[in-house]
Amino acid sequence: MRQTQTILLVEDNPVDVLLMQRAFRNETFANTSLQIVRDGDAAVFYLNGDGEYSDRDRYPLPAIILLDLKLPRRSGHEVLVWLKQHPELKRLPVVMLTSSKQTLDVKRAYDLGVNSYLVKPMGFASLLEMMQSFNDYWLNYTELPEPREFSGL
């Protein structure tokens, strides 16, 4: 049995948050913990361990980030820029999960170092299917650096 892995979901849309929480209740994600922040600044605070996020037992570094593009306070692109400027966090895999199909958004995300760009599907069944594929690829088959490697521990 694999160790529990934390996923950081950065999403401001309450409906999308509820759908993701519902998807993560599926048995496919039995060994996965979902942490949620609702804007770009909160993502940075979480990853940096600032303020309420300083308790790493309660807010562990994630194995991977699911990052929305259009966020309040700091966009997904801006979070990516911040992340890649921090040597202790820059290896942290980031999957952009957004509604935008705009070519410029996709290109910019990859230019900034996103590991994958997924467009949110319509309907819960499609989202669940996508997230099961995400789980298989990112959490079952991909060798990820240990979160402690991100923080230089």
Contact between 36 and 42 under an 8 Å Cβ cutoff? The reply is: no
DSSP state of 112: T
**Residue 14: pLDDT over 70:** yes
pLDDT in tens, 56-85: 999 999 999 999 999 999 999 999 999 999
Tokens of 91: 């290896």
Tokens of 87: 């040597």
Helix axes 40-48, 76-84, angle to 10 degrees: 20
Q: Give the pLDDT confidence score for residue 1 in this predicted structure.
A: 43
Our measurement of the distance from residue 128's CA atom to the centroid of its chain's CA atoms, rounded to an integer in Å, reads 16
Tokens of 34: 């979902």
Q: Which residues of 106-130 are buried (b: 16+ CB within 10 A; e: fewer)?
A: bebbeebebebbeebeeeeeebbeb
Q: Is-above-0.85 flag for pTM?
A: yes
